[in-house]
DNA sequence: TGGGCGCATTGACCCAGATCAAAAAACGTG
DNA sequence: CACGTTTTTTGATCTGGGTCAATGCGCCCA
């Protein structure tokens, strides 16, 4: 789809953004990106920015998982996005964060100072184009999530989440034995509940049910094994073929 | 926020897109846009494109309301976006529709043939920029909707929908008496249910409840009067001040 | 080696909203 | 204006998932 490479491992000094850019960029631009980038690390659970905060950087996730969520002041919260390695954080052209961002697991970001990044972007059309591309992907993901939140049962929600993470995670492959797959679940039950619009008790119950029926296996608390992906896929309620997810 | 004008009334020959462009464009580009545009009308309920269809145009809504929705093959559907006059339809750089698009009310679109539109876009950076801007707005709206779908009660959902439409509709002002407002509800109960992840019965009941409590008044079946917007706003469950919506 | 703390699981009960069913408005249309 | 069609309202009942509460399971650290 794109000649841009999205794997951190392929680019020692700086990941995605750098890599995303350098596929077509001149050396000058690479140097410029290098000069405005810096790394930041966060521990699991740590907040990164709050809704309404001024954000003076954009970033890409190097390792770990971050969450975007919206909160109602009575305490109800809804996660509206999950950032895995190679995902982009921040909104070029907008300096106020519209949601809370937090580290779900230990997290490393590669940050770029916003102003010079935007300047570079305006001067380099294909970067703007790439940003549009990525934003459209996020929009697709958000809308897929609307279907999950609005119309799926608890069981389908859990199956959908597992399927989505499995697809993402296993392309950056932790292990993929035959058609079975295995991955480290990066979310607590509570985080899953926040994402799926459920309570953590319901999440736990549904996971237990899937386990009981042999659709998934847990190794310890977080390592998930999916012996037969198609079987899980059926539980999502989705159209078999129709390409979901961004 | 932007020097681009979004009111069809201000631009006789072509609406939004044209107008959006001409704020900064040269005459050549205006002429070019004119040469690739055409109008299409649809009747209420008519489908415009199905998920998976090839789309050879992008468009902006001139009059009426269109819906974007995702369907599960067992019949459950979730509306994932609502297009009101001045909203943009279509995804530059992508030629396959990711959801079903339908006319909710009688609808007029101003369409641009996709290829030349994209070509113009690549040649004219500020159009790409504007598209990114608009996509970010859609993303915000989608994520606000995730909160509504995932965490709000039926009553809060209805109140939120009415508040959102009231804000949109009354800025293009049907009437705004004092702090009260009145507008034409462009959706059937079923469409509202599809949007809110409810059943049409629940929608009807909640509307009746709001009516009974004097928070809204109906004139006929579709004309809604909101005597005190703040009162409605409270029912949404949202933070009073925090700017919602795009 | 045994608290203590942060998840996770499980159980019992309840309620908001779904489902099923029917009546009542609204709306053409011949 | 009577009549069929569509949309909306209302009622009665059922149920998936929420709520409240207890218990279990690592895991760290003393």
- Asked whether the beta carbons of A159 and A232 are under 8 A apart, the reply is yes
Number of residues in chain B: 246
Strand order in the sheet with A66-71: A47-49, A100-103, A66-71, A77-83
- In chain B, residues under CATH classification 1.10.10.10 are 152-235
pLDDT digits (tens, 9 = 90+) for A85-129: 878 899 988 999 999 999 999 999 888 899 988 888 887 777 777
Contact map slice: B 106-125 vs A, CB within 8 A: 122, 125
Q: Is B87 on the interface with A (CB under 8 A)?
A: no
Q: Residue B12 contacts by C-beta under 8 Å, 6 or more apart in sequence?
A: none
Question: Nearest Cβ partner of B132 from A51, A132, A145?
Answer: A132
Greater model confidence, B111 or B199: B199
Question: Nearest Cβ partner of A143 from B70, B140, B242?
Answer: B70
pLDDT digits (tens, 9 = 90+) for B160-215: 999 999 988 765 544 555 567 888 888 999 999 999 999 999 999 999 999 999 99
- Asked whether the beta carbons of A157 and A148 are under 8 A apart, the reply is yes
- Residue B19: helix, strand or coil by DSSP? helix
- In chain A, residues under CATH classification 2.60.120.10 are 8-137
pLDDT averaged over every residue in chain A: 82
The CA R_g of chain A, rounded to the nearest whole Å, is 19
Instruction: Pick from B139, B233, B244 the residue to mutate for testing the A interface (most A CBs within 10 Å).
Output: B139
The band of B37, judged by pLDDT with boundaries at 50, 70 and 90, is confident
- Residue B225: helix, strand or coil by DSSP? strand
* Superfamily the domain A8-137 falls into: Jelly Rolls (2.60.120.10)
Protein-contacted bases of chain D (C-beta within 7 A)? 7-12, 16-21, 26-27
pLDDT digits (tens, 9 = 90+) for A219-245: 888 899 999 999 999 999 997 664 444
- Asked whether the beta carbons of B112 and B58 are under 8 A apart, the reply is yes
| Pairwise CA distance, residues A235 & A233, whole Å | 5
Q: For the ranges A120-129, A137-146, A215-224, B219-228, which has the lowest average pLDDT?
A: A120-129
- Phi then psi for A180, rounded to 5 degrees? -85, 160
| Pairwise CA distance, residues B132 & A58, whole Å | 16
| Pairwise CA distance, residues A93 & B70, whole Å | 30
pLDDT score at A235:
96
- Asked whether the beta carbons of A95 and A61 are under 8 A apart, the reply is no
Instruction: Provide the angle, in degrees to the nearest 10, between the axes of the packed helices A125-151 and A114-123.
Output: 110
Q: May I ask the CATH architecture of the domain A152-235?
A: Orthogonal Bundle (1.10)
- Asked whether the beta carbons of A105 and A183 are under 8 A apart, the reply is no
The band of B122, judged by pLDDT with boundaries at 50, 70 and 90, is confident
The band of B31, judged by pLDDT with boundaries at 50, 70 and 90, is low
ipTM of the complex model = 0.88
């Amino acid at each position: 789809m794109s000649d841009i490479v999205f794997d951190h491992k392929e680019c020692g000094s700086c990941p995605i953004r750098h890599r995303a850019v350098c596929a077509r960029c001149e050396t000058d631009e690479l140097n410029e990106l290098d000069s405005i980038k810096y790394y930041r690390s966060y521990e699991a659970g740590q907040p990164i920015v709050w809704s309404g905060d001024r954000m003076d950087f954009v970033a890409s996730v190097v390792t770990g998982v971050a969450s975007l969520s919206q909160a109602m002041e009575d305490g109800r919260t809804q996660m509206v996005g999950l950032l895995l390695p190679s995902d982009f954080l921040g909104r070029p052209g907008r300096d106020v964060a519209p949601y809370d961002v937090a580290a779900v697991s230990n997290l490393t970001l590669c940050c770029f100072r916003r102003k010079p990044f935007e300047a570079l972007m305006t001067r380099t059309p294909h970067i703007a184009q790439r940003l549009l591309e990525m934003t459209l992907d996020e929009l697709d993901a958000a809308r897929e999530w609307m279907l999950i939140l609005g119309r799926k049962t608890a069981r389908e929600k859990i199956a959908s989440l597992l399927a989505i993470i499995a697809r993402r995670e296993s392309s950056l492959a932790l292990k993929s034995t035959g058609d079975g797959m295995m991955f480290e679940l990066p979310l607590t039950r509570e985080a899953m509940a926040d994402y799926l619009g459920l309570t953590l008790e319901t999440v736990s119950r549904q996971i237990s049910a899937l386990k009981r029926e042999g659709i998934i296996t847990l190794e310890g608390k977080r390592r998930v094994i999916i012996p037969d992906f198609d079987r899980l896929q059926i539980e999502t309620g989705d159209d078999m073929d129709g390409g979901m997810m961004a």
